[in-house]
């Protein structure tokens, strides 16, 4: 449960980064075709960094969880073993 | 990277999100677009930064907890908390101290002194139908104390008249050390009377009355045995 909440936190961080990238255009403080304002550049840059980090962290953590499951399965009882 | 890479990446991303939240909170003020009329951008950055800070903090805490659980499950980190470990160490020290005290060899002189202190009041107890301490008013032992008992009298003594323990050479099985200074040997002849000693200046062990129970006889035997033991061990000074 703890790992799932932590994983969800990484997904939320990724979503926040994506929101920061889209916010200037969604809220229209950056008009299409106009020169980019400082606020829009900053939000897009920070959002992109957050989204990238969140994405990478989320899948790294997910891959680590899957790896642990494989390790537990390899050290556990044989699948064909008869239950005692 | 191992299994810890999962937790490390989560911790790093959560920390990066916390830093980004701080940056988003400061950027409108630092770049001045808060006053330049771009209120939507500033408000967006503050609100997003606040939310990101909360989410990053929660994520960081959960990754720390998950990693600690994993380390405890693997046995790398102790399973008990620091307080519990301290409490267990204190209890262990107490157990060791108690066990060490119990394992110490007792001092024989101290043990014999305690034994003597325990036995003297029992010897001084009056019998059921005799005056206290079994002595006459002038401090002398009653006549029956020095006279041989009648055969077949159930005194709880030794059935063997040839018992050669100290204090049991007479038929009355009276301890000899109860006379005078408490350590005068008795006469070898049972019928021979010793002159009555002068009343002692210091409290002495009272004469034992003739009628005794079996428990008292056993205690007197124990006392005589300890005397022999002390003399044999060369510990009479300690006695």
pLDDT per residue over B122-165, tens digit each? 877 766 655 445 444 444 444 444 444 444 444 444 444 444 44
In sequence order, which residues have a C-beta less than 8 Å from that of residue B171 and are 6 or more positions away? B148, B149, B161, B190
In sequence order, which residues have a C-beta less than 8 Å from that of residue A66 and are 6 or more positions away? none
- Sort out which chain B residues have CB atoms less than 8 A from A37's CB and list them: 33, 38, 41
Burial class, B173, CB count within 10 angstroms (exposed 0-12 / middle 13-18 / buried 19+): buried
For chain B, the domains span 4-101, 108-193+201-233
ipTM: 0.83
> Are the beta carbons of A53 and B16 separated by less than 8 Å?
yes
Is A4 an 8 Å CB contact of chain B?
Answer: no
- Residue A12 to residues A1, A18, B31, B227, Cα–Cα distance (Å): 16, 10, 27, 89
Mean pLDDT is lowest, of A31-45, B2-16, B45-59, B145-159, for B145-159
CA B68 to chain centre: 39
Is B52 an 8 Å CB contact of chain A?
Answer: yes
The predicted structure's pLDDT at residue B188: 44
In this structure, chain B runs to a length of: 239
Rounded Cα–Cα distance for residues A81 and B128 (Å): 82
Rounded Cα–Cα distance for residues B78 and A24 (Å): 50
Residue ranges of A 52-81 with Cβ closer than 8 A to chain B: 53-54, 56-58, 60-61, 63-65, 67-68, 71
- Taking the CA of residue A83 and the nearest CA in chain B, the distance in Å comes to 25
In sequence order, which residues have a C-beta less than 8 Å from that of residue A2 and are 6 or more positions away? B62, B65, B66, B69
The predicted structure's pLDDT at residue A52: 93
Q: Are B133 and B124 in contact (CB under 8 A)?
A: yes
Is B25 an 8 Å CB contact of chain A?
Answer: no
Q: In sequence order, what DSSP letters do the residues of A47-67 get, joined into one string?
A: HHHHHHHHHHHHHHHHHHHHH
The predicted structure's pLDDT at residue A49: 93
Rounded Cα–Cα distance for residues B7 and B29 (Å): 34
The predicted structure's pLDDT at residue B232: 61
- Taking the CA of residue B30 and the nearest CA in chain A, the distance in Å comes to 11
Nearest to B173 by CA among B204, B236, B238, B219: B219
Rounded Cα–Cα distance for residues A34 and B127 (Å): 123
- Sort out which chain B residues have CB atoms less than 8 A from A61's CB and list them: 6-7, 9-10
Is pLDDT at B205 greater than 80 in this prediction?
no
Is B200 an 8 Å CB contact of chain A?
Answer: no
pTM of the complete model: 0.49
Is B45 an 8 Å CB contact of chain A?
Answer: yes
Nearest residue of A to residue B3 by CA position? A64
Q: Which residue did the predictor score with more confidence, B120 or B233?
A: B120
Rounded Cα–Cα distance for residues B67 and B6 (Å): 9
Nearest residue of B to residue A54 by CA position? B13
Of the partner residues A13, A19, A29, the one whose CB lies closest to the CB of residue B56: A13
Nearest to B44 by CA among B19, B26, B24, B64: B24
Mean pLDDT is lowest, of A58-62, B37-41, B139-143, for B139-143
Rounded Cα–Cα distance for residues A64 and B2 (Å): 8
The predicted structure's pLDDT at residue A47: 93
Q: Are A4 and A10 in contact (CB under 8 A)?
A: no
């Amino acid at each position: 449960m703890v790992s799932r909440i932590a994983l969800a936190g990484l997904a939320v961080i990724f979503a926040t980064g994506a929101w920061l990238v889209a916010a200037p255009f969604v809220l229209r403080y950056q008009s299409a075709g106009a020169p980019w304002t400082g606020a829009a550049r900053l939000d897009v840059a920070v959002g992109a960094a957050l989204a990238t980090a969140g994405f990478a962290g989320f899948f790294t953590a997910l891959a680590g969880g899957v790896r642990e499951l494989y390790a537990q399965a390899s050290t556990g009882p044989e699948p064909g073993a008869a239950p005692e | 990277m191992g299994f810890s890479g999962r937790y490390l990446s989560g911790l790093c991303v959560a920390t990066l999100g916390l830093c980004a939240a701080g940056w988003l909170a400061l950027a409108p003020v630092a770049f001045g677009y808060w006053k330049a009329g771009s209120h939507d951008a500033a408000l967006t950055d503050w609100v997003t930064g606040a939310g990101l800070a909360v989410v990053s903090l929660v994520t960081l805490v959960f990754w720390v907890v998950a990693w600690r659980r994993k380390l405890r499950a693997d046995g790398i980190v102790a399973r008990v908390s620091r307080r519990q470990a301290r409490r267990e160490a204190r209890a262990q020290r107490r157990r060791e101290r108690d066990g060490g005290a119990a394992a110490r060899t007792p001092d024989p002189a101290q043990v014999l002194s305690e034994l003597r202190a325990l036995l003297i009041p029992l010897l001084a107890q009056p019998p059921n139908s005799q005056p206290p301490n079994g002595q006459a008013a002038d401090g002398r032992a009653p006549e029956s104390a020095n006279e041989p008992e009648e055969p077949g009298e159930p005194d709880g003594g030794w059935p063997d008249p040839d018992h050669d323990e100290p204090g049991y050479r007479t038929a009355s099985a009276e301890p000899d050390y109860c006379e005078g200074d408490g350590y005068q040997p008795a006469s070898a002849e049972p019928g021979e009377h010793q002159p009555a000693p002068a009343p002692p200046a210091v409290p002495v062990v009272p004469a034992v009355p003739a009628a005794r129970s079996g428990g008292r006889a056993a205690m007197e035997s124990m006392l005589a045995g300890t005397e022999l033991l002390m003399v044999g061990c060369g510990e009479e000074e300690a006695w």
